[in-house]
Structure 1
Amino acid sequence: MVSLNGSRSAADGTAVPMTPGDLVESALAAVAAGAGEVLVHPRTPCGRESLSPRVMGPLLEALRGAGTGVGARAGTGVPVGVLASVAAEPGPAERLARVRSWAVLPDRAVVRFAEPGAPELAELLLERGVGVDAEVPVGAEPGPLGRFLAWPVRDHARVRLLLELPSADPGWVVGTHRLPPVPLLLFGREGAAWPVLRLAARRGTGARIGVGDVLSLPDGRAARTNAELVAAATRAREDATAGIR
């Protein structure tokens, strides 16, 4: 998965795509470099994250119209996901109302279980036919993981667990065999991004990279594009898996 923009702003440099046109171009290049999924944080023209159908709908249509996620909702193509979070809509009730108002649906949506109202939001997304990526930070307070474990996952095929790890210490995921039988994706941010990606490769789980999570390449050089990060991630995963054969 490539995280196209995350919570970044223009202040983070030219590697961060900001306009709809830049996001489409970045997505296409990242997919060409090997990304199997696209995650985007829709934004208003002034740069504020938004779940408004007037903001999100045109962006999703532009991404799919350019070939990024064509046919993904029918089971083919590259899935396009969004983040449904406090940053875009602070109140739990307001987030639910936004999801109900969507006319153009993403393939998946990230739900942060560290935020209030996460189980209800996840249920509504599933009811609307949107896959759920349950994001849980590991190593902080145990509440988010507890809320996820307490949520009765009824549709394992459309739910995935995204564990955000603070480091590549394998101990963080020792107990994952006790989790519900859903696909697992590991990711880190900033200094943890590349070590965790290599850990994900060794464990055979999904992984995420992109300027939304990290702005530098494994050798410390500044990344110029999401595609450059994806290409470096492909090489890093191949190197990590080669070491365990």
Structure 2
Amino acid sequence: MLKACLNGSRTRSEHPGLPVTPDQLAAAAREAVEAGADALHLHPRGRDAAESLRAADVAAAVSAVRQACPGIPVGVSTGLWITARDVSARRDLVEGWSALRAFERPDFASVNLSEPGRLELAATLHTIGIGVEAGVWSNRDAQLLASARPAGIIRVLVEIIDVPPENAVAEADAILREFGDPGVPVLLHGEQEACWPVLRHAVALGLDTRIGLEDTLTGPDGGPVTGNADLTRRARELINT
């Protein structure tokens, strides 16, 4: 499975093709799916373009993308930075998603195991029928996954973050060894300069992976890209090789 991660925490000053509004996300999602994406991950924004967990903002983004890409799974972030690390505020906002109609509600949401409130957040998502992607960033996170499995987990996201590209594959292997077989699919990806080495490693291991402007602004050759569809197309070519 190849997931397109459309925007993350980036701003349009970093790349002119970064999608922010619901309409922009819908267009970017459609192009990414046409280029070979099997699933989508996005960070909804408010009217001020800041990341948001408000039910209305989540509904606007998710429903626009669903209309553009019928049948494609859509997920969102629950990163604690979105609420300025306020665990209670995040919990309350995510609980508000229970009022969303089916087409406004994401299929899954990522829960970073390094963040406080992770198990309670996973339980909330599970209760309202949203799948949980457990974000594992380190060996410590992998140990947490093994000792306290979040409710409703549908996938493990092994995310290689802030690691030099020459060390990224070894770091990925160390984390994967730490938790062994989680009984659900594993998606492995990196960011910035480590993005493409880790993507290639995921393909070699037969794991799910992802690509998009959230993770990198350059292609496998280090050159600039036009947007999410360009990245997705290049990743799909590597997968199919």
TM-score, structure 1 as length reference: 0.87
State the match for 2:106 in structure 1.
106
Q: Distance in 1 between matches of 2:73 and 2:53?
A: 18
Letter in 2 for 1:111: V
Indicate which of 181, 185, 188 corresponds to 2:187.
185
1:5–1:34 CA distance, 2 compared to 1 (3 A): same
User: Which structure 1 segments of 5+ residues have no match?
Assistant: 71-76, 240-245
Residue 208 of structure 1 aligns to a residue in which SS? Answer: strand
Amino acid in the other structure paired with 1:168: V
Q: How does 1:157-236 map to 2 (within 5 A)?
A: 158-165=153-160, 166=163, 167-169=168-170, 171-173=173-175, 175=177, 178-236=180-238
Decide whether the 8 Å contact of 1:111 with 1:134 is kept in 2: yes
Structure 2 vs 1, CA of residues 20 and 174 (structure 1 numbering), >3 Å: closer, same or farther? closer
Map of 2:135 onto structure 1: 135
Contact 1:49/1:87 (<8 A) preserved: no
> Distance in 2 between the 1:153 and 1:91 partners?
20
Q: TM-score, normalised by structure 2?
A: 0.88
Work out the CA distance in 2 between the residues paired with 1:82 and 1:38. 8
Q: How many residues align?
A: 226
Matched, 1:149 2:146: yes
Cα RMSD for the two superposed structures: 1.7
TM-superposed CA distance for 1:179, in Å, is: 3.9
Question: What is the CA–CA distance in structure 2 between the aligned matches of 1:9 and 1:43, rounded to whole Å?
Answer: 11
CA contact (8 A) 1:119 1:148 kept: no
Pairwise CA distance, 1:153? 4.8
Structure 2 CA distance, aligned partners of 1:110 and 1:61?
18
Q: Give a deviation string over 1:84-110, Cα, whole Å, max 9, x none.
A: 111222322221111111113200101
What letter corresponds to residue 39 of structure 2 in structure 1?
E
Q: 1:44 aligns with which of 46, 51, 65?
A: 46
Query: Cα deviations across residues 12-52 of structure 1 (Å, max 9, x unaligned)?
Result: 02131122211110000000111000100001121211100
- Any idea what the Cα deviations from partners look like across 1:40-90, whole Å, max 9, x if unmatched? 000112121110012111111111122x1x3xxxxxx11000001112223
Deviation larger for 18-27 or 34-43 = 18-27
Q: Is the Cα contact below 8 Å between 1:33 and 1:227 reproduced in 2? A: yes
Q: Deviations over 1:146-187 (max 9, x none)?
A: 3222223565xx521100123123633551662421210000
Shift of 1:208: 0.8
Match of 1:87 in 2: 81
SS in 2 for 1:192: helix
CA contact (8 A) 1:197 1:237 kept: no
Secondary structure, counterpart of 1:58 in structure 2: helix
Greater mean alpha carbon deviation, residues 13-22 or residues 51-60: 13-22
For the 8 Å contact 1:81–1:110, the answer to whether it is kept is yes
